[in-house]
Structure 1
Amino acid sequence: RIRENLRRPLPGESFDNLVNRSITQSIARSINTSAIVVVTLAILVFVGSATPDLKHFNAAMLVGIVSGTYSSIFNAAPILVLWERIVAKRKGAAATIMHDESLRGERRLKRSEEGEEDSGDDEKYSPVKRRR
């Protein structure tokens, strides 16, 4: 969600606020998805597994899903914000993620105003590899 919001940040929005807004937008969906998996795995651990090996495997999956969900919501975003601050201190404001994305947006806007199609050239110069 952060990547999506980076493409169209609100005017004057800081990176911290953008990350916070992104987490707020996606937290309910992440927790709901993980809760469904946790309930299923809990049922398999306590009721449905025929062998002890499967119970141990399901218990390990349960711990992994819970810790992964917690980490992706509450650890990854603050680490990204800290990383962005370190990069901004070392290289100046021109090297930040927000600046790079705003430049890409300006180039896309200029191309669309000139009637050119978006060729996706901005993606190959991106410091972050993106999947389509």
Structure 2
Amino acid sequence: MWQEDERCSEVVDLAWKRFFPGNPMVQVEGKIKECQAKLKQWSRTSFGNITCALKEKKEQLRQAKQKAIKDGTMETVNGLKWEINGLLIKEEKMRKQRPRALWLQEGDQNTKFFHNKASYNIREIELRN
């Protein structure tokens, strides 16, 4: 999801261009830490909490629909619908990425997490048939 936002590469470039004194490994470590901090900060400001944003936009849409009934203008309603659609796409992408992040975090070991995941998938297939 981040890679689709053009500002992501700008944040990485700016963080990576920062100078860190020391040998090359210390410099790389500093650049990675700086990049991590800047990406976290950028993510919070650019994406924030999508669930809360969706809730707010839906409430704004409800109010805009009521106002549109009185005024007869649908511009605000249509704009809010586009914004909500964009937030829903972002939310869906985040939900798809979450299991991948867990997989990377837990590693490829025979853990309880993976056993439960595999058992769940087998039950789901059996229920479909």
TM-score (norm 1): 0.31
Q: Which of 1 and 2 has greater Rg? A: 2
TM-score (norm 2): 0.31
Higher helix share: 2
Which of 1 and 2 has higher RCO (CA within 8 Å, sep 6+)?
1
